[in-house]
Structure 1
C-alpha cells in the first residue's frame, strides 16, 4: 500500500513501498509527479536494520534516479530496510528536465549539510539529516554523476575496510579527503560508514547501468561492510588538492587560446581524468595574470600554486607528475565549484 505524507516541517514528501502503478512509465514521468524532495522507504526481509542511499542532490545528475526507478519498478525485496533520499527535485524538474545542477538563485544542496542550514536548500538538508538521525542506518551512499565524462570513483572522508567495501560495490577507485565542504558524505563523522559514488558522466548509459548494478548489490547482500565480499581491489588516492579559479577569473575551453580568457583549457581535457600528467605535458594556456587566477586548496587551506604548476611560454604544466580527476569542461561548474582535483602520480597528497 502506498502512503504519501507531508513532514511536520512541510519540506519533504514520503513514499512507503511504492507500487509500480505509482511510479510512471519512465524515470522522467515519475520525476514529473514528484512535488518535493522525497523520502522513499522500502521494507526489507530483516526489519531490524536499514541502509540509506541519497541521490539527485544535484538536479543534473540522473544515474541514481534512473537506477532507483528501475529497481523500484522491478519490486525487489531488499535484504534490509532501505531508505532513499531524493534531494534536488526542484532543479531537476525545471525544463529541460535534469539539466540544472541547482536553482539559479539557489545554493548547491551538497554544500548545505552543516549549520546554519540557511535558505531553502539548508532546510532540505536539515530535514534529510533528521530522517537519517531518526532511522540510524548502518551505512549511507550518496550517488552522483561526474561533472564531465570519465571513469567512476568514490569519495570519502574516512578510509577503512567498511568504506572500501562499500566502494567496491560500484567501483575500484576511492578518493580520501580531509576537506570539509558541507557535503552529505561528511555524515561519516557520525560513525556511519558513508561514501559518495561518482558513477561517470550524466549522459553515459554505462554510468546509469553501474548505478543500477551497484544498488542491486547494496540492497541484496546481507553484509556490505566487509572487504571479503569486495568486487575489486580498491585503489586509494589520498587528500587531493582542489584547484579553483579565483572569483574574478575567466575561463574558455578552446583548442587554442583566443587571448580573451585568464585560463584556456582544451575541450577534450576530460580525457585526462585519472591519467598521469607529466611535467612535460601542458594542461592548457594561462593569460597575463599568470597563476594568480588559480587557488590550490588542500586540507581547507590555500597552498602555493608554484608547488603545483609551472608556466612556460604561456602554457601551464604540472610541477611534478600528477593524477587529476573530476575534470570539468562546463565553465559554469568550473567557476562555481572547481576545475579539478589532483594528487601525485603515486596517489599520495601533493602537500
Structure 2
C-alpha cells in the first residue's frame, strides 16, 4: 500500500532525542530527516546519506552510534536520513521502497512521472547542494551476503581517497540509473556498499569508516590515503520480471528459471567459467546482459546447456542476491569479466 510521503525535517544534533537503541530512534522519527552537526572547522561541510533504501540499515546504525558518542567532528556534518517511512514498516529495515513501488535510488535524475517520489529525491538533492559539501558519502548494504566495496562514477585520486576510509575495493561504473552518486555536487561522492544488511561486521565497518571520514583533518591526504583496487566496466545481468523464478537446490519443473539457493556465495571471490548457477526450462531468453551504456551486450556472460545455466567466462560477481523482488525488478548481479576487457578501452 502506498503511504503519504512527508517533507524533510531539519534539526540540529543538539536538539535530538536519541534513544540508546537505533531501532527505537528510527521509530521516533517523523519522516525523512536532515541533521546538522557543528564541527571544529565551521567553514567546511561533509555529507553522509543513509537509508536511501529502507532495508539497508548499516549507515543509519553508524550515524546513530556517532551521534551517541557526542564526539565533535572535524568539520560541519550534514546527515540525510532518506527513506524513514520505508524502514519503519514492520518488520523494520526490511522494506526497500518508500511507497512500495518506486526505487528512490533510480529517481534522482528527477525525470520520473510520479510526483511524490520525484519530490522526495529533489528535496534530498537540495539538502546536499545547499551546504556546498567538500565530499558526500552515500551508505548502502548489498542485497545479499557480501564483502564491502565502494562504487563511484569517477576514479580520480579524491574519490579513491574517500573509498579508502571504508574498504579497499571500488567499482568504477558508467552505468546511468538515476542514483544519488551520479549527481553533480561539485565534490567527490562515493557509494559505500557495507555488506549484508544483517551482518554485524557490515555495521562495524560502516561506523569505523564514518568515524574516520568525519574526524580526518584532510580527506585527501594522510595515513588513510592509499590506492584502492579498482574494478572497471561492470556488466549487469537482468532477468525478465515476468519470469517465474525460484531459488532452490535443484531444478523446479514448475518454474521457468531456478537459481541456486547459495548464489550469494559467488560474491566472495572469483567464479570459474562453466560454473552452474541454476537451471532454465526456457533457455536463456529471460536473461539480458547490459553494459555501462545500458546497451544489450552481444557476448553474454552465461549460456544454457541441457537445461543448466552456466557461466561462459571467469567472473568476479558483485551483489548477487536471493531477494526475489530485487532479482526480478532490478538485477540478479553485477559482474566483472576479464575475458571481455580486451575489447573495452579504459577511456571509452
| TM-score interval, smaller chain | over 0.9
Name structure 1 gaps, 5 residues minimum.
1-8
**CA shift for structure 1 position 136:** 0.7
- In 1: Cα distance, 2:22 partner to 2:80 partner: 15
Q: Is the 8 A contact 2:175 2:294 kept in 1?
A: no
Where do residues 176-191 of structure 1 align in structure 2 (5 Å cutoff)?
A: 176-187=172-183, 189-191=184-186
The change in CA–CA distance for 1:307 and 1:116 in structure 2 (over 3 A counts) is: closer
Partner of 1:303: 296
Deviation at 1:135, TM superposition (A): 0.6
Q: SS state of the match for residue 117, structure 2?
A: helix
1:174 aligns with 2:170: yes
| C-alpha contact 2:290 2:297 (8 A) present in aligned 1 | no
SS for the counterpart of 2:304 is strand
1:230 to 209, 212, 224: 224
**Structure 1 residue 285: deviation in Å?**
1.2
The whole-number CA distance in structure 1 between the counterparts of 2:169 and 2:342 is 15
Pair 1:254-2:225 in alignment = no
Quick one: which of 101, 107, 110 aligns to 1:106? 101
Aligned partner of 2:272 in structure 1 is 278
Q: Please state how far the C-alpha of 1:163 moved relative to its aligned partner.
A: 0.9
Matches within 5 A, 1:80-119: 80-103=75-98, 105-116=100-111, 118-119=114-115
Q: Report the CA distance shift for 1:58/1:139 in structure 2 as closer, same or farther (over 3 A).
A: same
Q: Which moved more, 1:116-125 or 1:151-160?
A: 116-125
Question: What aligned pairs does 1:174-213 form with structure 2 within 5 A after superposition?
Answer: 174-187=170-183, 189-213=184-208
Alpha-carbon distance between aligned partners in 2 of 1:85 and 1:42, rounded to the nearest angstrom = 11
| Residues in 1 aligned to 2:312 and 2:208: alpha-carbon distance in whole angstroms | 39
Q: CA deviation at 1:306?
A: 4.7
Give runs of aligned pairs for residues 1-351 of structure 1, distance below 5 A: 11-18=7-14, 22-103=17-98, 105-116=100-111, 118-187=114-183, 189-226=184-221, 228-230=222-224, 233-288=227-282, 290-304=283-297, 306-345=299-338, 348=341
Q: How much does 1:19 deviate?
A: 5.4
Contact map agreement 1:255 1:267 (CA 8 A) in 2: yes
Q: Secondary structure at the match of 2:285?
A: helix
The TM-score with structure 2 as length reference comes to 0.92
1:191 deviates by: 3.2
1:240–1:349: 8 Å Cα contact kept in structure 2? no
Contact 2:132 2:185 in 1 (8 A): no
Measured in 2, the distance between the counterparts of 1:206 and 1:75 equals 23
**In the superposition, relative to structure 1, how do residues 346 and 168 fare at CA in structure 2: closer, same or farther (>3 Å)?**
farther
Separation in 1, partners of 2:6, 2:236: 36
TM-score between both structures, scaled by the size of structure 1: 0.91
In 2, the alpha carbon distance for the partners of 1:173 and 1:104 equals 32
CA distance in 2, matches of 1:80, 1:334: 40
Aligned residues: 339
Computed over aligned residues only, the root mean square deviation of the Cα atoms, in angstroms, reads: 2.0
In structure 1, how many angstroms separate the alpha carbons of the residues matched to 2:242 and 2:10? 42
Could you tell me whether the CA contact under 8 Å between 2:291 and 2:297 is conserved in 1?
no
Moved segments of 4+, more than 6 Å: none
